[in-house]
Chains A and B, each alone.
Chain A
Amino acid sequence: MLSRVAESIYWMSRYIERAENVARFVDVNLHLILDLPGGVQMQWDPLVSTTGDDEVFAERYGHASREAVIRFLTFDTENPNSIISCFRAARENARSIRENISSEMWVQLNDAYLMVTNTAEEWAMEEPHQFFTDIKVASHLFAGQTDNIMSHSEAWHFCQLGRLIERADKTSRIVDVKYFILLPSIWDVNTPFDDIQWGALLHSASAFEMYRRTYGLISPNRVVAFLLLDREFPRSVLYCLSKAEESLHAISGTPLETFSNPAEQGLGQLRSEFAYAQVQQILASGLHEFLDAFQTKLNLVGDDIRKTFFAPRPVNGESADTQSQQIIG
């Protein structure tokens, strides 16, 4: 397929996944606030950290109030990672490759975009749960149509690649940010509040119920293990890396466990690191350091994907920012 088309499909899929993730963790935090014991102040700035936009936010808004954070993450058209910007970018990408995706996928994405742009901000602030649910459902419908209508050929694999790499990144950021806020203080251990907070972290990745079925009682180590290392939960980092690797190899035709380009090499190494990791070792050596290194490596994989498939003749001096799309032409 055309390199330009592959790039647009990859980013279309990434942006939709990004919007869904933002919707989910904002929603979870809005719920969490309802259960906070009196006198405890809700921290809103960690939400901004999960999209990695702390500096931009501080510049534009200053203090992280509930309204400011929600606005920044949902309707702020100047924030490239807000929900509305993600849908706009996804739709622009889809528009440029409309001949490659089914009409149903296009209509679904267009519907979602119109829904977000036509939603009055006041209403979304008042009924945030409904609004964020609509966003998640829109993303799931799109993913479902992609799976069930589109041939599982090269274009579909680029969709998968974009979605899974975005999801691995976001799950790791949610764990990274929340883990430190949630480290139990002496007063909270074994209180209902402790349990609720860890539960909220799981909810942020839609992982609560699946976690329960796997581990039962909530313990911090197991929550981290589940979100990073579970082999079956579709939002765990290891699962995302494994499936992304499969798609990458389906695209190139290279057998798994071998590699024909830097992207396959990097992703294979990263997946192995997770496949053979133990949560105790990760925690002992420092979770934050581990996740920070992971995000750097994942960015490198994203950049290698771009160099390998989208820009066969790299132009000198191009930056390697893989968190947002390179605008060409």
Chain B
Amino acid sequence: MTRFDGYNTDGFFDEMFSPDGSARPAVQMLVERIESFPEGELIRRQIAAEYALLRMGITFNVYADEQGIEKIFPFDLIPRIIDANEWEWIERGLKQRIHALNLFIDDVYHDRKIIKDGVVPADIVLSSERYLQQCIGLHPPRGIWCHITGTDLVRNSDGQIYVLEDNLGCPSGVSYVMENRQLMKRTFPQLFGMLQIQPVEDYPSRLLNMLQYLVTDRVMAPKVAVLTPGIYNSAYFEHSFLAQQMGVELVEGRDLVVMDGFVHMRTTKGFEQVDVLYRRINDDFLDPTVFKQESLLGVPGLMDVYKSGRIALVNAPGTCVADDKVVCSYVPQIIKYYLGEEIIVPNVPTYMCWEDTDRKYVLEHLDELVVKEANGSGGYGMLIGPHATTAEREEFAQRIKHNPRNYIAQPTLSISRVPVLIENHFEGRHVDFRPFILYGEDIYVLPGGLTRVALKKGSLVVNSSQGGGSKDTWVLSGHS
């Protein structure tokens, strides 16, 4: 051992090294390869990879900046490796989860059996700000609501993997999965020959196939488009990347118009009908005549066309009710209810502030817990108890008492780490993992995903808006 000399797991679960300092079996070849590089070679490859990202314009926009300044999404070239056995378990767990969630969403907008049977309290579902009255009784094409999901997983210090949240809205990051992989093939070509790394490159084909499948029962050659809020959106790169890779149009709200009961694009030769919209704008902004009136991003009349079944929207409006963190905490019961199975990949244990006993516990243990808003995201609207000041904790205590339904709390997980290259040595940084799941003709889990890494020393926040970066994730095939 040379390159990793002095690398310390600091008592955390390390994805690459066992507590005794030896490399885990799946990463041994990677470690050997890194050891074989001459001094300075790794950092040279890291710089080359970053420069390639800049040239390709693989950047995200920082919201606060009015010029829409672009930054590279920081990238670390040491991959996170998942062995075949563990992946097989994750894949089964995610398929089970998405299958049940889809049944749940459909149920709560129709018969509400799960509520009538007393498994999930009516209050919890119906009071969610993401439960859309406008979607009651709707039948989305092929009965699918959650076509695309990017479930966040974390591993705790005991090695157990938990689901943190599902991201049923417009999960971002799959473009980075594919671009990171391209960079890694340039950076470590030999390793791809030695390890059986499962490919991720067919994602756009599978996505397009799923999108077309939704309407092929009524349209011969469906017209698919990706709906973006525009070039100043932080995920614009991904929107254009996916449209380009699928060979479909990337449209903005102003390119679309509802006419004669269909959605049309404004083209140089008049109007052209659209059959499937992979929309990357939130429910609230889809149709100003139904949701937020001031929305300029959406298409007036879109929901009427959707209700009449003349356009497929992906994901279906209303899906996000299952993203509500309070609703989400019922997923074990939801899986049991619809599938009669035990949950495979567990939820992070969750305290619900609307329940008196839980709330009492939460308020007494704010210094140990992570508190989240039911519908917060992006690392905003949360309290990390152990890292917070007394004043911040007091503020959250007031917020919880004022609106208990809006908060949940979870134990502060000691999430796992991986080595990242810092100048010429390695340091451990915390990571999460976002695999992507497509629900079309069947449920498909992309073998890979976005490993987000908190690049700030000691930080647990992996969001790109708050100093997070990414790593490629290698899912190995063949059991070891």
Residues of A participating in the B interface, judged by any CB pair closer than 8 Å: 1-6, 92, 95-100, 103, 106-107, 110-111, 114, 154, 251, 309-310, 312, 328-329
Contact = CB atoms under 8 A, between A and B. Distances in A.
A302 to B, nearest CB: 16
A3 B267 CA distance: 5
Interface residues of B, number: 25
Interface stretch (B78-86, B95-103, B243-251, B373-381): B243-251
Contact of B266 (A2, A110, A329): A2
Interface in B242-265: 243-244, 248-252, 254-255, 265
Nearest to A312: B266
**Secondary structure class of chain A's binding surface, majority of residues:** helix
Given A4-B255, A99-B244, A110-B57, A92 B266 contact: no
Contacts, number: 66
B56 A103 contact: yes
Which 9 interchain pairs have the tightest Cβ spacing?
A: A99-B243, A99-B244, A98-B240, A309-B268, A99-B250, A110-B57, A6-B268, A3-B266, A99-B240
B268 A114 contact: no
Contacts of A3: 255, 266-268
B160 to A, nearest CB: 41
B270 interface: yes
Given A98-B250, A99-B240, 12 more contacts: A2-B255, A2-B267, A4-B266, A106-B57, A110-B56, A111-B55, A114-B55, A154-B268, A309-B268, A312-B266, A312-B270, A329-B252
B270 A4 contact: no
Nearest to B54: A114
Contacts of A312: 266, 270
Contacts of A5: 249
A98 B248 CA distance: 11
B231 interface: yes
14 contacts: A1-B249, A2-B265, A2-B266, A2-B267, A95-B57, A95-B240, A98-B250, A99-B248, A99-B249, A107-B55, A110-B56, A312-B266, A328-B254, A329-B254
Contact of B268 (A98, A103, A251): A251
Given A2-B251, A312-B270, A92 B231 contact: yes
Contacts of B266: 2-4, 312
Interface of B: 54-57, 226, 230-231, 236, 240-241, 243-244, 248-252, 254-255, 265-268, 270, 296
Contacts of A114: 54-55
Contacts of A329: 230, 252, 254, 296
B316 to A, nearest CB: 24
Contacts of A97: 250
Contacts of A110: 55-57
B467 to A, nearest CB: 24
B231 A103 contact: no
A309 B268 CA distance: 5
Contacts of A310: 268
Nearest to B245: A99
A114 B240 CA distance: 20
Contacts of A99: 226, 240-241, 243-244, 248-250
Contacts of A100: 244
Contacts of A309: 268
A276 B240 CA distance: 46
Contacts of A98: 57, 240-241, 244, 250
Nearest to B265: A2
A3 B244 CA distance: 17
Contacts of B54: 114
Nearest to A251: B268
Contacts of B250: 97-99
- Residue among B54, B55, B230 with most chain A CB within 10 A: B55
Given A3-B268, A114-B55, A95 B251 contact: no
- Residue among A4, A107, A309 with most chain B CB within 10 A: A4
Nearest to B51: A114
A239 B243 CA distance: 36
Contacts of B252: 4, 329
A118 to B, nearest CB: 10
Contacts of B254: 4, 328-329
Nearest to A109: B57
Contacts of A111: 55
B56 A1 contact: no
Nearest to B56: A107
Contacts of A328: 254
Contacts of A154: 268
Contact of A95 (B56, B231, B265): B231
A41 B255 CA distance: 54
A9 to B, nearest CB: 10
Contacts of B270: 312
Nearest to A94: B57
A2 B249 contact: yes
Given A110-B55, A110-B57, A96 B251 contact: no
A96 B255 CA distance: 13
B174 to A, nearest CB: 15
A251 B267 CA distance: 12
A3 B243 CA distance: 17
A154 B241 CA distance: 21
- Residue among A1, A98, A111, A154 with most chain B CB within 10 A: A98
- Residue among B231, B252, B254, B267 with most chain A CB within 10 A: B267
Contacts of B226: 99
